[in-house]
Amino acid sequence: MQKSLEMVLQGLYKQYFDQVRDDPYVRMHSGRAFLSGTVRLFRFYEPCLAGRTSILDWGCHHAPDACLIRARFGQAVALHGCDIVDPHQYEDFFRYAGLEYRQLAHPFQLPYPDAQFDAVIASGVLEHVPMDYESLKELHRVLKPGGRLMVGYLPNARSVEEWWMRVSGRNDFHHNLYSKSDFRRLLLRSGFLPLVMGFQTQIDLLPADGAWLAAVRPLLRLTPLRHLTSCLCAVAEKILYF
């Protein structure tokens, strides 16, 4: 499953770069390590999509998550996507995903009715929006009661990588960082009940690559290493009353 899903994305990236001279953002995400991580994150939240037929890829950019959902669930799912990018920029990806794309113009408001979606994917998005609390409330609005929110690539406040990017003078660090406890409180304030949340690493939540890692994961979890990973990920449920 891992390899077949990776091949889907590899084919789309090749098709894209055969037509486009270069795109630094997409080039970075097409690298082997990043591509493998994208598939692992999908496998982490995939079970939560079973039986859900209307899904929003929020801040989708070139929509790799939507493409993986289409590859896994076929035509049983209606896929929507939104972002600030030009709708013609990533037509190959959008076409494969069968994505109904909307270009956004407001800092947080979404052009969808209340309770439209069964699930929302938010992969590498929340840290970039100007008002994260307002954005989460808007996602709560467009989700059905009991709908699921899947968050990935959320920058960890304890990340060694983020610390190094700051002290070394690089300008590609994230301005918004989140601790696990702070993010939990933010979800609760926005009307979401966190179901699973933790550090986005094979030591903690993501599927282990290889039997040896799966075997030693319980021991590795006793070390503080996973707390220093770059990102957090989570699955949360929209609730109306606590």
Question: Which domains, and CATH codes, for the chain?
Answer: 2-238 (3.40.50.150)
Going from the C-alpha of 191 to that of each of 41, 73, 117, 163, the distances in angstroms are: 24, 28, 16, 31
Tell me the pTM: 0.94
pLDDT at 208: 87
In the chain, the largest separation of any two C-alpha atoms, in whole Å, equals 51
pLDDT at 91: 94
Q: What is the pLDDT along the chain (242 residues), one digit of tens a residue?
A: 666 999 999 999 999 999 987 899 999 999 999 999 999 999 999 999 999 999 999 999 999 999 999 999 999 999 999 999 999 999 999 999 999 999 999 999 999 999 999 999 999 999 999 999 999 999 999 999 999 999 999 999 999 999 998 888 888 888 999 999 999 999 999 999 999 999 999 999 999 888 888 899 989 888 888 899 999 999 999 998 76
Token reading at 87: 């709708």
- Cβ atoms of 169 and 242 closer than 8 Å: no
b/e burial code for range 130-139 (CB count within 10 A of at least 16 → b)? eebeebbebb
pLDDT at 102: 98
Q: Can you give 25-38 as a three-state secondary structure string?
A: HHHHHCCHHHHHHH
The alpha carbon torsion through 71, 199, 124, 102 (nearest 10 deg) reads 50
- DSSP class per residue in the chain: -HHHHHHHHHHHHHHHHHH-S--HHHHHHTSHHHHHHHHHHHHHHGGGGTT--EEEEET-TT-HHHHHHHHHHGGGSEEEEEESS-TTTTHHHHHHHT-EEEE--SSS--SS-TT-EEEEEEES-GGGSS-HHHHHHHHHHHEEEEEEEEEEEEEBTT-HHHHHHHHTT-S-S-S--B-HHHHHHHHHHTTEEEEEEEESSTTTTSPPSSHHHHHHHHHHTTSSGGGGSSEEEEEEEE-S--
- Cβ atoms of 95 and 16 closer than 8 Å: no
